[in-house]
A and B are shown apart, each in its own frame.
Chain A
């Protein structure tokens, strides 16, 4: 099983403080994170969260940032656990992924929130929560997308949604994650709810098809007059990804600012994922010189609303061969042992069987070499490391003020 990648996936992310929040001096409640794994075949994960912001959720700007952290950590663990345990990932249904992943993310988020709250109490920044579960203070939505085998998996809780158009423009989706009945007005499902895992929605699209996906917090959707406006947005950025990718970050910032000013007034955050028309599934990833072979982190440069163009910065050269996975390794070893036993047995059965034994012996010779090679590869520290979550992370949130926080590193 080879994990291949579409080598020229482009990812752009931007966030602006909502117009109403600017007027009321309220910090941006949205957070987003982009993880590019430049070791494990350029796999990527994006996450976006929208803190609720009302009084009872007074730490929700932190809650949203913890949500994207928890999400990226658990998806990395989930993927590496599956890859490392010989499970046949092709057999994983979207329900399997949901059943396993949603509880992990929620549990992790709760642990991070509890830790944060205890720190606050220790520092005298927060009082006893009383009868209110402390997670409620951190209430947030969450949505994410990641590459898993031949699919792009999308998941969410709450009203953050995704839009899609194929390169041809014939295939479109104005709500990849679907609206719930309660997603009207200001109420939505939340990570802080008792049975939050029940409210996760999952979806998938084949990674082989080309097009552009936009994940966006509800501030974006509520600023658009309808499906036609979503199409306008998709078409514009799809063509821009293909014709003028260098300008997208600045353009997206201006777009989100216009949306919140003339539209919803809410914080607006969007992640654009462009899947190219010719996903050649190359093992080799191209890179810019400045980051070749290095772990790279993406910073917002402290400039409010400045976005990231991951394409230019994140890709790294990787000419490694896909490591043999343990199930294949065991198979090779078993075949080798069986063949060796067979040859020894035939040799002991007399001269008539020696010729057969010699023919069979040719097979284990090649397999044994392959097995030895695999064992050596598997025992190398760098190859063991390749199985662990690793790569680049851009993690951005805006907790305490309207300035963008320094990039946080998760490893």
Chain B
């Protein structure tokens, strides 16, 4: 018989939504689309968690407008995750939001966790020192190993693609562009499920010779757009 009462635990998979709620998100129904897309992603995330029986999916959310703050913290298991709508106002303190995530990764992550998944959604340019925060993320053990997906929403010209690309340093896929609500729902659902699956494969890699992350499966083709153009 196995050791009686042995404290066996699944490995935590910490998922972070990093969501832009700046004033520009209030235009063209962007913030409503964001709320709806996150809410719609929940059943798929539950499904993804079930297909990774050795991972305990914990969801966190941080929002950034005039300031960055935790919207869901501490993280909650996906089974009890309920999305409360956010509203848009203020500037784009993306760097501060990333700092909050770094704080959590540096202080609260069990060493036996799976690589965290970070999904950044924004429609504009950061108004604070994003690169400083990114550098902190890059240099943290968990940040470097994280699976990161950036989704730019709204007109292509308004999104800071340089920031998105730097955020997705060494990832296999390019930042995603959600031109409408259907795209956004599709990409958030994709990011929140396949990134979870990729993080929880249980594969390991050499420190130098393998990518620090596991990459992500191909992005599904964008569905025919029946949604609003942001």
Enumerate chain A interface residues (CB-CB to B < 8 A). Answer: 18-21, 23-24, 50, 52-57, 132-133, 136, 139, 141, 159, 179, 181-190, 192-194, 199, 218-219, 221-226, 228-229, 232-233, 236, 251, 254-255, 258-260, 262-266
Contact = CB atoms under 8 A, between A and B. Distances in A.
Interface in B196-211: 200-211
A246 to B, nearest CB: 14
Interface residues of B, number: 38
B202 A266 contact: yes
B1 interface: yes
Question: Which 4 pairs of residues, A with B, have the shortest CB-CB distance?
Answer: A265-B54, A190-B206, A54-B203, A225-B7
Nearest to B116: A185
B212 to A, nearest CB: 6
A391 B10 CA distance: 40
Nearest to B140: A184
Contact of A19 (B1, B54, B111, B204): B54
Contacts of B203: 52-55, 186
B2 to A, nearest CB: 4
A348 B5 CA distance: 85
Contact of B7 (A54, A192, A224): A224
Nearest to A132: B209
Interface string B160-189: 000000000000000000000000000000
22 contacts: A18-B202, A20-B53, A20-B202, A23-B53, A56-B205, A184-B141, A186-B114, A186-B205, A187-B212, A192-B206, A193-B206, A193-B207, A193-B208, A223-B8, A229-B6, A258-B8, A259-B8, A262-B8, A263-B54, A264-B10, A264-B11, A265-B11
A57 B7 CA distance: 32
A139 B52 contact: no
A184 B115 CA distance: 8
Contacts of B4: 236
Contacts of B214: 54, 186
A131 to B, nearest CB: 12
Nearest to A222: B112
Interface string B1-27: 111111111110000000000000000
Contacts of B212: 187
Given A199-B207, A263-B8, 17 more contacts: A53-B204, A54-B201, A56-B205, A57-B210, A136-B210, A181-B141, A182-B207, A186-B204, A187-B207, A188-B207, A190-B208, A192-B209, A223-B9, A224-B9, A229-B6, A229-B9, A265-B54
B145 interface: yes
B115 A56 contact: no
B113 interface: yes
B142 interface: yes
A260 B3 CA distance: 14
Contacts of B10: 262-264
A233 B55 CA distance: 22
B111 A254 contact: no
Contact of A225 (B1, B9, B54, B200): B9
Interface string B45-85: 00000001111000000000000000000000000000000
Contacts of B141: 181-182, 184-185
B113 A185 contact: yes
Nearest to B54: A265
Contact of B209 (A18, A21, A56): A56
Nearest to A183: B111
B207 A139 contact: no
Interface in B202-230: 202-212, 214
A55 B200 CA distance: 14
A61 B209 CA distance: 17
A254 B1 CA distance: 7
Contacts of A181: 141
Interface string B120-131: 000000000000
Nearest to A236: B3
A53 B203 CA distance: 5
A219 B9 CA distance: 12
Contacts of A19: 53-54
B38 interface: no
B54 A232 contact: no
Nearest to B145: A185
Contacts of B114: 185-186
Contacts of B53: 19-20, 23, 265
A236 B6 CA distance: 10
A186 B203 CA distance: 6
A193 B54 contact: no
B6 A233 contact: yes
B141 to A, nearest CB: 5
A260 B11 CA distance: 11
B138 interface: no
Given A54-B205, A263-B54, A255 B3 contact: yes
Contacts of A226: 7
Nearest to B212: A187
Contact of A222 (B1, B5, B11, B201): B11
Given A19-B54, A264-B112, A229 B202 contact: no
